[in-house]
Amino acid sequence: MITAYHRPKTLDEALALLSQPNRTPLGGGTVLSKPGADPVEAVDLQSLNLNSIEKQGNSLKIGATVTLQELLISELCPDALKPAIKLEAPLNLRNAATVAGTLVSCDGRSTFATVLLALDAKLEQTKLEDSKIESRVSNIGEFLPLPNLQGALITSITIPLNIKFAFEYVSRTPADKPIVCAALALWNSGRTRLALGGYGKSPILAMDGTETEKSDASATDNRLHSAQSAARNAFHEATDEWASAEYRMDVAATLAKRCLENLS
């Protein structure tokens, strides 16, 4: 239940408000609009100019209050990211939900968070310390699965552009949240990150390693074997009302293979 509303004009003012108890950021309002018994004061972020999408060298910097739909239709949005954004929420919610809010409220079925985990996205967080703004950049893996911002505010998300990545999923219907999804990112150095979604409290990082074989064919074979084994291991206890662990293990291995085939 929202008991008070604040609309700060500066980041300093917003952080000062958020440093007080029972106050929470308001981006798109998709989370705060849900009924709740606990009283909370909303701190609206609309006036803080955190809604830009910028290419910075080999990276894409996305402001915290950019909506999912704004990112989806941006000419800077990587093609492989677009299916994950579409699956994250229907159009009406994408027009309101912000990228930072989506991460803060995500669970294991979040396709957007799954892809960002595979991409090793960087989150910039700011906090007021002794009346000064302190910024910290962390890997998304440090943020998931249970965010505890403690008065800090996500101001931007940065993803790499100079890599290959693919996204695959299986769901009951084409528009439904996946029962299993896989996102795989491949760096020029041979580094491979595989993230899986569709189960639990947050997406799972199943694999993060570098293939060092000299033979390209051997490296590809080893990478495929490693990715499929990692996918199976990650879901060995992933049973819920949607699917059994055995089903998810088999599907995850298949999706990991498809991702690698898409990048070959």
- Given 102, 131, 160, the domain boundary residue is 160
Q: What stretches in the chain show pLDDT beneath 50?
A: 213-215
Total domains present in the chain: 3
pLDDT value at position 33? 53
pLDDT value at position 206? 96
Question: Mind listing the pLDDT tens digit for each residue in 78-95?
Answer: 999 999 999 999 999 999
Helix (H, G, I), strand (E, B) or coil at 68: helix
- Given 160, 189, 212, the domain boundary residue is 160
Is residue 156 located within the same domain as residue 230? no
pLDDT value at position 129? 81
Q: pTM for this one?
A: 0.91
CATH code at position 238: 3.30.390.50
| Cβ(53)–Cβ(61) below 8 Å | yes
Structure tokens at 193: 């990150």
pLDDT value at position 207? 96
Residue-range definition of the domain harbouring residue 73: 52-160
pLDDT value at position 221? 83
The rounded distance, in Å, linking the Cα atoms of 262 and 77 is 19
The set of residues, in sequence order, having a beta carbon less than 8 Å from that of 232 and lying 6+ positions away, is 249, 250, 252, 253
Is residue 154 located within the same domain as residue 174? no
Is residue 57 located within the same domain as residue 154? yes
What number of helices (H) and strands (E) belong to the chain? 9, 12
pLDDT value at position 214? 47
* Longest CA–CA separation in the chain, Å: 63
Alpha helices in 212-244 (DSSP H): 216-234
Helix (H, G, I), strand (E, B) or coil at 20: coil
